[in-house]
Each structure stands twice: as C-alpha cells, then as structure tokens.
Amino acid sequence: MGLGWLTADRVAMESAVRCNWPSVVGSRSFVSLSVGLSWPASFMGEEAVGLSDLILGLITGLCFGFFLQKGQALKYDKQLGVLRFKDFTILKVMLSAILIGMVGIYILADTGIGQLSLKPTVLAANVIGGLIFGLGWGMLGYCPGTAIGAIGEGRFDAFWGGVLGMLTGAGVFAEAFPFLKDNLLRWGDLGKLTLPIVLGVNHWIVIAIVWAVVIGILIGLEKKRL
C-alpha cells in the first residue's frame, strides 16, 4: 500500500502540473496529442530530487503563483467564466503559457541543458481522467493549481472542496492502482507521441505554426473583449 500511495501522490502532482502548464509539443501526454511538463520528474529525468531541485521548485512555484494571481486566474468568477464561454481570461493565460513554455522547453532540450522524457499516450486514461477532471473543475470552480493559489488569497472553499478532494482522490487512486495499471491504463496505448513525431517534421516548424494560430486566437479574443 505504501508504494501505491507514493505512485498516486506523484500522479496527482503531475495532474496538477498538467492543468497549468500544457504544451502542445512538450513532454507528457494529457490528451492524445497534447502534452504537459512536470519539471523535476519529466524534464530532468527519474533521478532522486536533490536539495537544489527542491529550491528550484520552490522559486518557480512562487513565481508561478505570483503570475497566476496577477493574471486573475485565481478568481472563482474567472474560472467559471471560461467554462461558460463568457470570460476567456483563463484561456488567455493558458495559451500564453503554452507559447512561452514550448519555446523554453525546446531551447533547453536543443542546447543539451535538459532532456525530454516522454510518457505514453493512453486514450482511455486520458479521456476518463479528463472527464473526471473537468467535472471537478466545473463543480468546484478551481483546478488543482488555482485551488492552492486561492487558499493563499484566503478562499477556504478551495481548501474544503479542492485540497481535501485531491487528497481523497489520491487515496482512492492508490487503492485502485493495482487493478488500473493492468486494465484502464493500458487501453488505447499509442506509445510516446508528440505532434512533431506524428507529422514527421522538425519541432520548430510545429512551434511556429502553433504560435501563429494562438496569436490569431488571442487577437480575436481581444477584439471581441472576451
């Protein structure tokens, strides 16, 4: 059971990271061809995390929380607004993070500073997990990352519904993991995929196309004042 809880804790943490740092051409699959980044586990390898990594995580976490707060991503109304297609502030924050993140990730990878560690794209796990995640986000009004940030602003509804819910979910997942790893977590396993791999082109070409599309979307949202 101890190993199960450890695995569940890691999966829960990576889920929170995926929520806030999606990258179309990066390292971990969240939907069939979209991927996310977990800095210590996915980008720096599977080695034990040292003190310097923990300090780096603390610093980047503080910066991340600061920018979430300044971007109004921690506000309940903003979270519900994007789910109701009435206020796209959260979407604009996420799209901006995708643009910056994909460039930074591949600069680090291409210069040899970091190394991508891809995880398999598993359709069943992604679809079912995404539905559960979406229902929780819609009902609570926060995703995992913004729930933690909202607590920092004194919004304790994020604690009772968010943090306690995440801990409960991690516990349930830990107990179910021995069954899931040989069933659900194997259905629709497409292997390690990224858009550049699927399209057979250089990743910078994909990045340039994504930048053009996303910039167009952001300009359109601004013109409509959404």
- What is the identity of the amino acid at 127? V
**pLDDT tens digits, 139-190:** 888 888 888 888 888 888 888 878 888 889 889 989 998 888 888 888 888 8
- Whether 77 has a pLDDT exceeding 90, the answer reads no
Domain ranges of the chain: 2-223
pLDDT tens for each residue of 46-65: 445 678 888 888 898 888 88
**pTM of the predicted protein model:** 0.66
Q: Note the pLDDT of residue 206.
A: 94
Task: Name residues whose C-beta falls within 8 Å of residue 161's C-beta, 6 or more positions apart in sequence.
Answer: 139, 140, 142, 147
Inter-helix orientation angle 144-152/2-20, to 10°: 80
Please give the Cα distance from 143 to 127 (Å, whole number): 17
User: In 3D, which of 22, 20, 47, 46 has the Cα closest to residue 34?
Assistant: 22
Confirm if 195 and 206 have CB atoms less than 8 A apart: yes
Closest by CA to 145, choosing from 129, 130, 133, 127, is: 133
| Residues 98, 80: Cα–Cα separation, whole Å | 21
Share of the chain above pLDDT 90, in %: 19
Longest dimension (CA), the chain: 53
Q: pLDDT (tens digit, 9 = 90+) per residue, 79-106?
A: 888 888 888 988 998 899 899 999 999 9
Residue 49: per-residue pLDDT: 61
3-state secondary structure of 210: helix
Q: What is the mean pLDDT of the chain?
A: 78
Q: Is 193 helix (H, G, I), strand (E, B) or coil?
A: coil
Q: Tens digit of pLDDT for each residue in 23-48?
A: 445 444 333 333 333 333 444 444 45
